[in-house]
Structure 1
Amino acid sequence: MVMDNFLIQVTGKKRVVLFSPRDAQYLYLSGTKSEVLNLDNPDLNKYPLFFKARRFECVLEAGDVLFIPALWFHNVISEEFGVGVNVFWKHLSSECYDKTDTYGNKDPTAASRAIQILDRALKTLEVLPEEYRDFYARRMVLRIQDKAFSSNYE
């Protein structure tokens, strides 16, 4: 989710598992979703880094409200029948969001464009032999780490 969110539990009970966006590298992402489906008993042979992701967990009961910050990965499991309400809001300027994205599931437009550019750059490298692709892809990663990661974020 790219918008902040209040999850309000009206009736029933839900278990919520959250992961910080800083742990994205351990979540085996496919798009915006993790490939790790069984959070309680993950296949560590298939997803060996998953154990490094710091898990935050809570149970929501009737009347509870949970703030889920933008970019936090979350999994919600109904423990019993219930009703929950989500309230989303945009905290970035409106031009940052895709106008057709009601629920905050799409990346901000600048991030979406950057990912498309990166995908094109990686495709461009496909004409090179494997060791060259590897070398230049690693250079790209280092450049991204150098230019994009804020020291305040770590």
Structure 2
Amino acid sequence: MFQRKLPDAVNFWLGEASAVTSMHKDHYENLYCVISGEKNFILLPPTDRPFIPYGMYQPAVYHQRDDGEFEVVDQSDSEKVPWIPLDPLDPDLDRFPQYRHAQPVRCSVKAGEMLFLPSLWFHHVQQSHGCIAVNFWYDMEYDIKYNYFQLLETLSGST
């Protein structure tokens, strides 16, 4: 799959333990390499889509006020975007009872290790303080795998 193919994007990540992602998926095959520290992933396969809640939310940005503090400002002129409101570290099963059927896989990637994260897999990422990582993104093939995922999205009532 990756032979003689340059990545579509390369990201350099440098951060502390407070840097955490929300649950999401990407349309890229991802090679994730940790140089220093550790990344902790919660992974869910695309087949778990029916158990993962989505909602439509107003985009927002951080804005620095004159006093130096940051505030969240809704971008009210923008269209709403799909987002997963679930915290996989502490899932609210009263609010999202379908998530109890999900099969999350936990994985730690340490310095010198690499994780292949397939496209369309849902993931949540935490890291240790002073973590340094690089990832290589390769656009997915829009083949039958993508069609199956689109079917799951439709059957799940995704927006």
TM-score, normalization: structure 1?
0.57
Pairing partner for 1:41 from 67, 72, 90:
90
Counterparts of 1:20-99 in structure 2 under 5 Å?
20-30=45-55, 33-37=83-87, 39-92=88-141
Unmatched runs of 5 consecutive residues or more in structure 2: 1-25, 56-80
Give the count of matched residue pairs.
100
Are 1:4 and 2:50 matched, yes or no? no
Q: Whole-Å Cα distance in 1 between the matches of residues 113 and 85 of structure 2?
A: 29
Which protein is richer in strand relative to its size?
2
After superposing on structure 2, the runs of 4+ consecutive aligned residues of structure 1 that deviate more than 3 Å are: 30-33
Are 1:15 and 2:67 matched, yes or no? no
The alignment partner of 1:14 has SS state of: strand
TM-score, normalization: structure 2?
0.55
Q: Whole-Å Cα distance in 1 between the matches of residues 83 and 116 of structure 2?
A: 20
Q: Is the 8 A contact 1:14 1:80 kept in 2?
A: no
Q: What is residue 17 of structure 2 aligned with on the other side?
A: none
Letter of the structure 2 residue corresponding to residue 5 of structure 1? N
Identity of aligned residues (%): 24
**Larger relative CO (CA 8 A, sep 6+): 1 or 2?**
2
Residue 32 of structure 1: CA displacement? 5.4
Which protein is richer in helix relative to its size?
1
- RMSD, matched Cα: 2.7
Change (3 A) 1:44 1:15: same
Q: Whole-Å Cα distance in 1 between the matches of residues 82 and 133 of structure 2?
A: 22
